[in-house]
Structure 1
Amino acid sequence: MGKYHRRKRATLKKIIDGLIAEALTIALVLSFVAPVHAAPKVDFIDVSHHNAQGGLPLSFYQTIKVSGVNGVVVKVSDGTSYIDPAASVNVANAKASGMAVSAYHFARFTSVSEAKTEADWFDKQLKYVGFDKLKDGIVVVDVELPTASKATLTDATNAFTSEMHQLGYPTVDLYSGSGFYSSHLDADKLSISQPWLARYNGGKTEPVWRNGKGAWQWSSGYHFNGIGGSFDVSQDFAGKYASRYVAPNATAPKKVKKIGSVSLVNWLKQHKKAWSYSERSTLAKSYGITNYSGTAAQNIALLVKLKSGVKPAKNPKAVKKAVKKVKAHTYTVKRGNTLWGITRAHKTTITHVKMLNHLRSDLIRPGQKLKY
């Protein structure tokens, strides 16, 4: 009997061990096929003088183009009197790399009439910095300031859009924060569908789409390998920003345009043009490079413009208007706060708070006072 029971126990142990091994194998397989959170794509970026006061160099755009980032949205203007000092350089160098280049205007309008005035200002600045309405990408109105009631702001946004269409721009898009879009704009009455919305939560949750799924700005602090600085990055669901169909000037994905010689001074000498610093500065200003300091990024951008044969546009004069002051609130940062959490709680956007407080990154510290 003793031997029989020992044999029976040994057989039972083998069966149990086999079942355990099989269960572990199944668990291991499931661990590989189980769904995991994947980061959103980086289809395009948006840039302004906050990324580089004198504009980003051609090499930057070439590098990210090769990596698979096909589009860029350049800040050009703001209100009725401001031009982004890096706009002309960013537009030229991004185009020279083969990227699909779009442009945006930061809105401050409080009425339909002001919206039309801002659209006219945007149009003039687009010409000044060398943006081609038919060969480059699309134009965008950035609406994230609570300057008027929901109904008025919606009507003004539609008026801006209509004015841009009348000025000859085929596609106009809207950028805003997901929360602001829901609370300060009437999606059902907006003429723009599939908007570009911002929502920062580590790329885990998409914006609340109320009028079609457009593009998602999912990070304002993205770092490219080997490149300094942080960038706003977005995924393009609707194909508005990273497609060659909306930007004929762009090249195929990961394909960089050939640029040839990059010596501005040599080119000017060869073409028997004045090449001193003061002459280059004057020439640069005529092409929208308003803060020329002789950087490589600015020199290459100016060279690109000269080689293309494009003629300088007139420098638009600022439009004077009565400024309606928007009351700014202040929040004192507490331990554990994040910029994303603060902006969400106060129904504003990270972009707006960073602009008001001149922040170059999302880093904040306890005790810091933030306008919003």
Structure 2
Amino acid sequence: MAVLFLGMNANAARMDMVDVSNNNGYMSTAEYVSMRNEFGVKAVTVKISEGGTYKDPYAASNIANVQAAGMYVNGYHFARYATKAQAIAEADFAGRTAKAAGLPVGAVLATDVESQEANNQSKATNDRNNTAFMKEIQKFGYRADIYTSGSWANNKMTIKGRTGWIAAYPFVVSGKNWYSTNHAWQWSSTAKFRISSGGFDVSQLNSDYYTAGQKSKVKPTNKGAVKANNRKANKHNYKLSNSAKWVKESKTYTLKTAVKLHTSASTSSNAITILPAGTTVKTDRAIIQGGYRWVRQPRFNGYGYLTTGPTSNTLKYVKSGAAHTYYTVKSGDSWWAIAQRNGLSMTTLASQNGKSIYTTIYPGQRLVVR
């Protein structure tokens, strides 16, 4: 494949690609058009699946709305595999799920390798598993790639030249084009867009891999806004990498998978115990160091330390115990109408409120929608 390397503003990283998942909720076509026209986003990579059973509920709507906005669309699968057989099974699951969600043939379907399962494997085992996944995913007509953190690339797994989508931040403005020999560099997880709520993962594309094999109508209509918005995004997202220090973080997390609790904020430190999936952890401090984001858990006899993921700071292994968002039922509302308004299925909306779709709802009643 011919690789096209792109130029870079010496003082800014570009917002060429955004990745979205269920964490971002329902995303409208208008939001993607705004990203395209006002920020210069060319491509969107949509979460498709995770492990062997989870299907992202927003994958189909995200794919359709990205395409309606005239942008390139790709997908990713959050890997949980620890063996070659599991990797092949997850690739089959991801491929079938992507087809059902409408991901077009020729798109990239990357494997997102940053789980505790992968952290527990040797480099050789991860390489074998990743190769098996990518070989299998190509049978569905998709192009393959690996997403991982900069601290894991060529450490926990091999990322060959002119391949790979690498996450590495916080980033210091220095004019350096990070990971210029890889397909993409994810440089922030907190980018803001004008009409979209929350923070987003954004990447600079260093080749045409994530914009190849598809037709697109991407033509930002406000070039001045693109430049200004990118400068603003860089200003607010860059942090000095040499100023890592503990910061206050009084939060409650629930583990998605088993995680080691360490005696200090280092992967080489002794493990106090292994906290099983479902464990609730209350923290008081957080820090980014040694290629990971760490949180500190106060214990009866001191502290325990656990990673929430690579330095991407996106809490891949844990979910926050944040307050719910509620909707107050109005006259004429139905399960279907409320679910559609909030990007949910009726079954999901009802179940997260401890009810069924056959339960009667009344005006003034509050329902959890996030």
- Aligned mates of 2:178, 2:73 — CA distance in 1: 26
- Aligned mates of 2:12, 2:182 — CA distance in 1: 18
What secondary structure, in the 3-state scheme, does the structure 1 residue paired with 2:57 have?
coil
What secondary structure, in the 3-state scheme, does the structure 1 residue paired with 2:152 have?
helix
Give the one of 73, 93, 97 matched to 1:121.
93
Task: Check the 8 A contact 1:177/1:348 in 2, yes or no.
Answer: no
User: Please, what TM-score do these two structures have when normalized by structure 2?
Assistant: 0.59
- Corresponding residue number in structure 2 for 1:247: 214
Percentage of identical aligned residues = 29
Deviations 1:160-181 (A, max 9, x none): 1111123322x21110000012
* Pair 333,119 (structure 1): closer, same or farther in 2 beyond 3 Å: same
What secondary structure, in the 3-state scheme, does the structure 2 residue paired with 1:228 have?
strand
Give the one of 65, 70, 78 matched to 1:93.
65
Give the one of 300, 309, 317 matched to 1:356.
317
- Corresponding residue number in structure 1 for 2:141: 168
Higher relative contact order (CA 8 A, sep 6+): 1
Q: CA deviation at 1:239?
A: 1.6
Q: CA deviation at 1:223?
A: 1.0
* Pair 247,132 (structure 1): closer, same or farther in 2 beyond 3 Å: same
Q: Compare 218-227 and 172-181 and name the one that shifted more.
A: 218-227
* Pair 93,340 (structure 1): closer, same or farther in 2 beyond 3 Å: farther
Q: CA deviation at 1:328?
A: 3.4
What secondary structure, in the 3-state scheme, does the structure 1 residue paired with 2:201 have?
strand
Q: CA deviation at 1:212?
A: 3.3
- Aligned mates of 2:144, 2:83 — CA distance in 1: 19
- Aligned mates of 2:283, 2:150 — CA distance in 1: 22
- Aligned mates of 2:10, 2:141 — CA distance in 1: 42
Counterparts of residues 16-27 of structure 1 (less than 5 Å) = none
Q: CA deviation at 1:356?
A: 2.4
Larger Rg: 1
Does 1:215 find its partner at 2:184? yes
* Pair 156,342 (structure 1): closer, same or farther in 2 beyond 3 Å: closer
Does 1:144 find its partner at 2:99? no
Counterparts of residues 129-208 of structure 1 (less than 5 Å) = 129-134=101-106, 137-145=107-115, 146-169=119-142, 171-187=143-159, 193-202=162-171, 204=173
- Corresponding residue number in structure 1 for 2:23: 50
Q: CA deviation at 1:358?
A: 1.4
* Pair 204,111 (structure 1): closer, same or farther in 2 beyond 3 Å: farther
- Aligned mates of 1:41, 1:65 — CA distance in 2: 12
Number of residues paired by the alignment? Answer: 245
- Corresponding residue number in structure 1 for 2:193: 224
Q: Which runs of 5+ in 2 are unaligned?
A: 1-8, 223-256, 266-281, 295-306, 323-370
Flag the structure with higher strand content: 2
Q: CA deviation at 1:327?
A: 3.8
- Corresponding residue number in structure 1 for 2:83: 111
* Pair 43,230 (structure 1): closer, same or farther in 2 beyond 3 Å: same
Give the one of 9, 26, 32 matched to 1:61.
32
- Corresponding residue number in structure 2 for 1:309: none
Task: Check the 8 A contact 2:34/2:195 in 1, yes or no.
Answer: no
- Aligned mates of 2:105, 2:71 — CA distance in 1: 15
What secondary structure, in the 3-state scheme, does the structure 1 residue paired with 2:77 have?
strand
Q: CA deviation at 1:182?
A: 3.1
Alignment RMSD: 3.1
